[in-house]
Chains A and B, each alone.
Chain A
Amino acid sequence: MAIKSLLIINKSGGLVYQRDFIPSPHGKMNSNEYLILAGTLHGVVAIASQLTPKALQVSSTQNLLPLPSQATATAANAANATNTANNGSTTALGGYGDGAGSGSGSGSAANSSPSAAAAATAVAAAAAAAPEHTVPYIPSLGMAANDSKPPGRPMGSYLAPDYFSDSFISWNKSGLKSIVTNDFSIFLYQSLTGVKFVLISTQQSTSNAALHLADNLLRKVYCLYSDYVMKNPFYSADMLIRSEPFDKKLHALVANL
């Protein structure tokens, strides 16, 4: 995917950084229009988290209060089934958020082998950690090839070869994540402190893989932000970002894609 533009929005909805990487064929938007864009996105994120469908509201309350008999029954089923691939559907059906304790209790009741019970509790623990919000790590995204690395410390306070090397949890659990239109798509990454990173890219795929790719890239931008914006003593919080090293590193990151 080619990246058209990148925006950073502070926690009160103001635009603090904007950069175009590809000149738009439809004429450039002026800075006022970008400010409106940032404010609108900030508002839409708030609305989107208000709009939870009723089916999800009902199922979340059911997960909080599962019937004890049902919970142990599904746990026994999971303990009997050694095939962990099949367990995905049973964990999705049963209220499994707090099923770890009941799983170990029913393991002895079902008299199954200890290894199967351990596997069942492991699956339950994985389900409790909400895998739907985990973003898989995509290796060497936007990283320079080894031979072309400049001398010194190319990655700020991070150690080479990459900023992070594990899957991570998305903090944006109910708000807006992406918008796909006929011409381009917008991806949002939100930090726990309320800073939003917005990416406008030229691809129109609605797949979850594209979402994960954008989350990985924006997390790297967040790493750059924490290095070159937050550690700048001349930067006052929530104001415009004017930092040359941040610009340079961002261009290098996008150019490596």
Chain B
Amino acid sequence: MAIYSFWIFDRHCNCIFDREWTLKADSSSGTTNSKQNEDTAKLIYGMIYSLQSISRRISSSTNSVKTISTGKYRIHLLPTTTGIWFVLFSDLKQQDLSQVLQYLYGEIYVRYVARNMLSPVDFAESTNETRGQGFRKINNRNFIRAVDRFLGPMVSQL
């Protein structure tokens, strides 16, 4: 069992949170909200966006992608009706992490970001940040700590 990275995208095509673990053996390694991951985040967003639009065209407009597998890793996806995507990269042994994503959304994001009076409601503050040019991230310390505490044990398990 291994988890590689965790990403949150908002409805303005911006990455508002990223956490990537670089060493499987060490759950405190890696980067949080790194500037270097901006290009990767755009690639991930573009890939998921095009696959979502494919799946809506083949089936109904309410259909959405659950998992994407490649030869090396698997992506688990939880889209919410408010347009926020929760994206989790794991190895190929993880078949369904939808409950993990549901917990990250319902118990951690809602608790530390949505119910937080000091956190912005929308992470794009002006109209020129709404087309994917936004740079604001979730910097709430409690949120970051809760994500690490919850996902940390899953990073290193073999």
The answer to whether A and B come from one shared complex is yes
A-side interface residues toward B, CB under 8 Å?
Answer: 24, 26, 29, 33, 37, 40-41, 43-44, 47-56, 58-59, 89, 92-93, 132-133, 170, 172-184, 200, 204, 206-208, 211
B55, CB-defined interface residue at 8 Å: yes
With A and B bound together, what is the CA distance between A38 and B65 in angstroms?
A: 17
Q: Is the CB of B158 within 8 A of A92?
A: yes
Checking B43, B64, B89, B96 against A53 with a beta-carbon cut-off of 8 angstroms, the contacting residue is: B89
Q: Is the CB of B47 within 8 A of A48?
A: yes
26 interchain pairs, CB-CB under 8 A: A24-B58, A26-B59, A37-B58, A44-B51, A51-B40, A51-B43, A53-B20, A54-B4, A54-B20, A54-B21, A55-B4, A55-B30, A89-B158, A170-B71, A173-B72, A178-B67, A178-B68, A179-B51, A179-B67, A179-B69, A180-B68, A181-B64, A182-B62, A183-B59, A184-B58, A206-B67
Q: A26-B60, A48-B47, A181-B63 in contact; A55/B23 too (CB < 8 A)?
A: yes
Closest A residue to B73 by beta carbon equals: A53
Q: How far is the CB of B13 from chain A (nearest CB, A)?
A: 15
With A and B bound together, what is the CA distance between A27 and B130 in angstroms?
A: 34
Checking A52, A183, A204 against B73 with a beta-carbon cut-off of 8 angstroms, the contacting residue is: A52
Q: Is the CB of A50 within 8 A of B43?
A: yes
Closest B residue to A202 by beta carbon equals: B59
Checking B24, B44, B158 against A59 with a beta-carbon cut-off of 8 angstroms, the contacting residue is: B24
With A and B bound together, what is the CA distance between A41 and B66 in angstroms?
A: 16
Residues of A within 8 A of B21 (CB): 54-55
Q: A44-B50, A54-B22, A59-B24 in contact; A177/B59 too (CB < 8 A)?
A: no
Residue-wise, chain B 34-49 has the 8 Å CB interface mask toward A (1 for contact) of 0000001001101100
Q: Is the CB of B71 within 8 A of A179?
A: no
Q: How far is the CB of A178 from chain B (nearest CB, A)?
A: 5
B141, CB-defined interface residue at 8 Å: no
Checking B47, B57, B58, B67 against A44 with a beta-carbon cut-off of 8 angstroms, the contacting residue is: B47
What is the size category of the interface that chain B forms with chain A?
Answer: 35 or more
Q: How far is the CB of B89 from chain A (nearest CB, A)?
A: 5
Q: Is the CB of A56 within 8 A of B4?
A: yes
B14, CB-defined interface residue at 8 Å: no
Considering residues B57, B68, B71, which has the most beta carbons from chain A within 10 angstroms of its beta carbon? Answer: B71
Residues of A within 8 A of B71 (CB): 133, 170, 172-175, 177
Residues of B within 8 A of A58 (CB): 22-23
Closest B residue to A205 by beta carbon equals: B95
Residues of A within 8 A of B57 (CB): 29, 33, 37
Residues of B within 8 A of A175 (CB): 70-71
With A and B bound together, what is the CA distance between A193 and B30 in angstroms?
A: 37
Q: How far is the CB of A74 from chain B (nearest CB, A)?
A: 14
Checking A33, A47, A55, A182 against B46 with a beta-carbon cut-off of 8 angstroms, the contacting residue is: A47
B2, CB-defined interface residue at 8 Å: yes
6 residue pairs, one from A and one from B, having the closest CB atoms: A53-B4, A183-B59, A173-B71, A181-B55, A54-B22, A178-B69
B84, CB-defined interface residue at 8 Å: no
